[in-house]
């Protein structure tokens, strides 16, 4: 049975993950309107991955005899300055998600909730990957100044991303 404080934190994390999906879907829409279909595709897959993360938490709470309580989602940002701005915001967002997971891990440790710690170990590793991926794209956009032929090549590269079902 889940501790009430851990259950509340996990429910809040479900909201964070679903909001992340919403953020990435909004970023995808921005890229569609900017005629960057590869970037749009990358963000759409990122959105789907975030829904899968939310469902991992959802299933875990239920499997532990807890109660999932869904929280409202805020409207995501819809205006961005450039492709670089979008990926910088994505990186910043992933860092916030990482901090949220670390806080839950600390709580689970304090409560001696070992199953939750095991689940969160997977998410800690996943966040390293998420931050690295966004950071690498930011670096590439900075190198090409986010425009011209290099941007088109990067767009094609991002469009080649395949779905990664975690």
Whether 123 is covered by a domain: the verdict is yes
Query: What is the reported pLDDT for 106?
Result: 98
Whether 137 is covered by a domain: the verdict is yes
Gap between the Cα atoms of 48 and 71, Å rounded: 19
Gap between the Cα atoms of 28 and 31, Å rounded: 5
Whether 121 is covered by a domain: the verdict is yes
Number of domains in the chain: 1
Whether 109 is covered by a domain: the verdict is yes
How far are the Cα atoms of 24, 88, 152, 155 from residue 79, in angstroms, in the given order? 13, 13, 21, 19
Q: Find the CATH number of the domain harbouring 105.
A: 1.20.1260.10
Residue 76 has what DSSP assignment? P
Whether 164 is covered by a domain: the verdict is no
Structural domain boundaries enclosing 62: 4-159
Whether 165 is covered by a domain: the verdict is no
Gap between the Cα atoms of 7 and 40, Å rounded: 34
Residue 153 has what DSSP assignment? H
**Single pTM value for the model:** 0.91
Whether 47 is covered by a domain: the verdict is yes
Gyration radius from the chain CA atoms: 17
Query: What is the reported pLDDT for 17?
Result: 97
Whether 128 is covered by a domain: the verdict is yes
The alpha carbon torsion through 165, 97, 24, 34 (nearest 10 deg) reads -130
How far are the Cα atoms of 10, 67, 85, 137, 165 from residue 2, in angstroms, in the given order? 10, 9, 40, 38, 27
| Tens digit of each residue's pLDDT, the chain (166 residues) | 899 999 999 999 999 999 999 999 999 999 999 998 999 999 999 999 999 999 999 999 999 999 999 999 999 999 999 999 999 999 999 999 999 999 999 999 999 999 999 999 999 999 999 999 999 889 888 888 766 787 888 888 888 877 665 5
């Amino acid at each position: 049975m889940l501790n009430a404080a851990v259950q509340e934190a996990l429910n809040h994390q479900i909201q964070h993950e679903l909001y992340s999906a919403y953020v990435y879907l909004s970023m995808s829409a921005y890229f569609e309107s900017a005629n960057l279909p590869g970037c749009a595709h990358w963000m759409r897959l990122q959105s789907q991955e975030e829904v899968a993360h939310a469902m991992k938490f959802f299933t875990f709470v239920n499997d532990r005899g807890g109660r999932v309580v869904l929280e409202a989602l805020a409207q995501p940002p819809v205006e961005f300055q450039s492709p670089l701005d979008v990926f910088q915001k994505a990186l910043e967002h992933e860092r916030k998600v990482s901090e949220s997971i670390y806080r839950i891990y600390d709580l689970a440790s304090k409560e001696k909730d070992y199953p939750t710690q095991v689940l969160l170990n997977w998410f800690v590793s996943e966040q390293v990957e998420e931050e690295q991926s966004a950071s690498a794209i930011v670096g590439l956009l900075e190198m090409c100044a986010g425009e011209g032929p290099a941007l088109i090549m990067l767009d094609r590269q991002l469009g080649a991303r395949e779905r990664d079902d975690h």
